[in-house]
Amino acid sequence: METKVWQVDPANPDPNAIREAAQVLKRGGLVAFPTETVYGLGALAYERAAVRRIFEAKGRPLDNPLIVHIARVDQLEEVARQVPEEAYRLMDKLWPGPLTLVLWKVERIPLEVTAGLPKVAVRMPAHKVALMLIEEAGAPIAAPSANRSGKPSPTSAEHVIGDLRGRVEGVLDAGETLYGVESTIVDVTVEPPTLLRPGALPLEVLEELLGREVQVPLFARGLGEAETAVAPGMRHRHYAPDAEMVVVEAEDYSDLSRLVPAVRAIAKQKAQEGARVCVLCTDETRSAYEDLREQGIASMSLGPRSDTFIIARNLFKSLRLVDEMGYCFVVAEGLEERGLGLAAMNRLRKAAGYKIVRA
Ligand code: TXA
Ligand code: MG
């Protein structure tokens, strides 16, 4: 299959490109499109056969449900029912934006979308291209991240094309995404509301708006036994580079004096064993690994610890870069689980296959 690529201006997308892409969707095809978080791989949510093709194209396990994307709050009733008052409050303040709500699904949403579950995940993305595509398609769009299953989510059209060329009909290319990490997912059908996946919307913002605590299960932090995680789609190995990886965590990140030596020790040992090693670090610690260069150990900074937006934004593209540059072992510094640090740590732990060392 030939994969068509439409280059579009994110601020002022060409309506003709959007129309063509929407036509592809209406004919049952798959189109990857940008959102403010990561690129999604879309099919019309009501088209079972098209939705099934998403799983095929990604190599995605069938028990991992998809997020349904809408363009207006009044479209919500085409997707979900019994929406709690509290959920409307969140939508009012945070949509369009990187918050996905898990709600009771309406009959019309096929079980292919929800992997057999009675609940559906819904969000309204804050990206002109995504919103115009949904409007033009005339129906909600089911879309997981547009990567091959298990790979880091795509933050640029190049990532999508690298993973899915020849497997999907088209890609709308609007350059790099803003957040570079997926949406925050909250189940609002349960008491108290429960975080299923930390993402681009900080938990702190959510709790502030709700005026109460959101439950954070261990699996949402990327901890606990992956096999027993209760949320669907959370059991699968995720976001992983081809390289083997370990995360080194500290008790308290205001003092990095034990973290750095622990990272250095693992990196050196692996390098001695012959591995091409890369340390995934932060601006604050980068210089502490400079001398390891002589031993063939590289270091890559995700950004300053003080700015978790930047750290989260760089995470997936750095994981892809590690593979491109041919490193086969990554030692990642842990991060404080505050702001977008919570999402970043969830992704790092999963990328490492839950291999965690405590400094
Ligand atoms: O930012 C995002 O969320 C991106 C963009 C494209 O919108 N989408 C995304 O989808 O990252 P992805 O690949 O993470 O897949 C959707 C995830 C599933 O793995 C699952 O964890 C959760 O959403 N999910 C979907 N439906 C669910 C449901 N009914 N109950 C619980 N979790 C659900
Ligand atoms: Mg994904």
Q: What is the mean pLDDT of residues 141-159?
A: 97
Q: Is the CB of 156 under 6 A from ligand 1?
A: no
Report strand pairing: 244-249 vs 99-105.
Answer: unpaired
Q: What is the pLDDT of residue 229?
A: 46
**What average pLDDT score do residues 57-68 get?**
97
Mean pLDDT is lowest, of 78-82, 332-336, 350-354, for 350-354
| pLDDT greater than 70 at residue 235 | no
Q: Is the bond preceding 152 in cis, omega lying within 30 degrees of 0? A: no
Strand partners for 30: none
- Of the listed ranges 6-15, 84-93, 218-227, the least confidently predicted one is 218-227
| CA pseudo-torsion sign 345, 350, 126, 193 | negative
Please tell me the distance from the alpha carbon of residue 48 to that of residue 38, in angstroms, as a whole number: 24
Query: With a 6 A CB cut-off, is 185 part of the ligand 1 pocket?
Result: yes
Q: Which residue has the higher pLDDT, 229 or 115?
A: 115
Report the alpha-carbon distance of residue 315 to residue 281 in Å, rounded.
Answer: 11
Alpha carbon 343 to chain centroid, angstroms: 9
Mean pLDDT of 59-65: 96
**In the predicted structure, residue 65 carries a pLDDT above the cut 80:** yes
DSSP one-letter string for 242-282: SSEEEEEE-S-TT--TTHHHHHHHHHHHHHHTT--EEEEE-
Comparing CA positions, the residue from 121, 152, 171, 172 lying closest to residue 312 is 152
- Tell me the helices (H) and strands (E) count for the chain, helix number first: 10, 16
Write out pLDDT tens, residues 153-206: 999 999 999 999 999 999 999 999 999 999 999 999 999 999 999 999 999 999
Query: Which residue's CA is minimally distant from atom 6 of ligand 1?
Result: 40
Please tell me the distance between residue 183's alpha carbon and the centre of ligand 2 in angstroms: 10
Residue 61 predicted with pLDDT over 90? yes
| Coil, strand or helix at 6 | strand
At 311-348, the pLDDT tens digits run: 999 999 999 999 999 999 999 999 999 999 999 999 99
Q: Is the CB of 183 under 6 A from ligand 1?
A: yes
What Rg, from alpha-carbon coordinates, does the chain have? 20
Q: Is the pLDDT of residue 228 over 50?
A: no
pLDDT band at 231 (very low <50, low <70, confident <90, very high): low
Ligand 2 centroid to 294 CA: how many Å? Answer: 37
Cα(197) to centroid(ligand 1), Å: 9
In whole angstroms, what is the distance from residue 332 CA to residue 4 CA? 37
Q: Nearest CA to 188 among 91, 114, 86, 113?
A: 86
With CA atoms as reference, report the closest residue to 69 among 93, 37, 92.
37
The reply to whether ligand 1 has any atom less than 6 angstroms from the CB of 119 is yes
DSSP 128-146: HHHHHHHHHHTS-EEE-BS
126 alpha carbon, closest ligand:
1
Residue 155 near ligand 1, beta carbon < 6 Å: no
- What separation in Å is there between the alpha carbon of 149 and the centre of ligand 1? 13
Ligand nearest to the CA of 134: 1
pLDDT grade, residue 269 (50/70/90)? very high
pLDDT given for residue 191 in this prediction: 97
Instruction: Residue count of the chain, please give it.
Output: 359
Residues paired with residue 333 on neighbouring β-strands, in sequence order: 248
Model pLDDT, residue 227: 43
Q: Which two tokens stand for residue 74?
A: 């009044």
The predicted model gives 41-46 an average pLDDT of 98
Average per-residue pLDDT in the chain? Answer: 95
Q: Which of 67, 156, 190, 239 to mutate to test the pocket of ligand 1 (most atoms within 8 A of CB)?
A: 67
Residue 46 — very low, low, confident or very high, per pLDDT cuts 50/70/90?
very high
User: Which ligand 1 atom minimizes the distance to the CA of 113?
Assistant: 26
- Asked if residues 139 and 46 have their Cβ atoms less than 8 Å apart, the reply is yes
What angle do the packed helices 203-210 and 85-94 form, to 10 degrees?
A: 130
**Strand spans (E) along the chain:** 4-7, 31-33, 40-44, 67-69, 80-81, 99-105, 119-123, 141-143, 170-173, 184-187, 194-197, 244-249, 277-281, 298-301, 329-333, 356-358
The average pLDDT across 246-274 equals 97
Q: What are the Cα distances from residue 196, in Å, to 8, 215, 235, 250? A: 33, 9, 12, 24
Phi, psi of 314 (to 5 degrees): -90, -15
Query: Residue 137: how many CB atoms within 10 A of its CB?
Result: 24
CA atoms within 13 A on the CB side of 85: 0
Banded model confidence at residue 236, pLDDT cuts 50, 70, 90: low
The span from the first CA to the last CA of the chain, in angstroms, equals 49
Among 152, 75, 130, which residue's Cα sits nearest to residue 106?
75
Cβ(122)–Cβ(103) below 8 Å: yes
> What pLDDT does 240 receive?
81
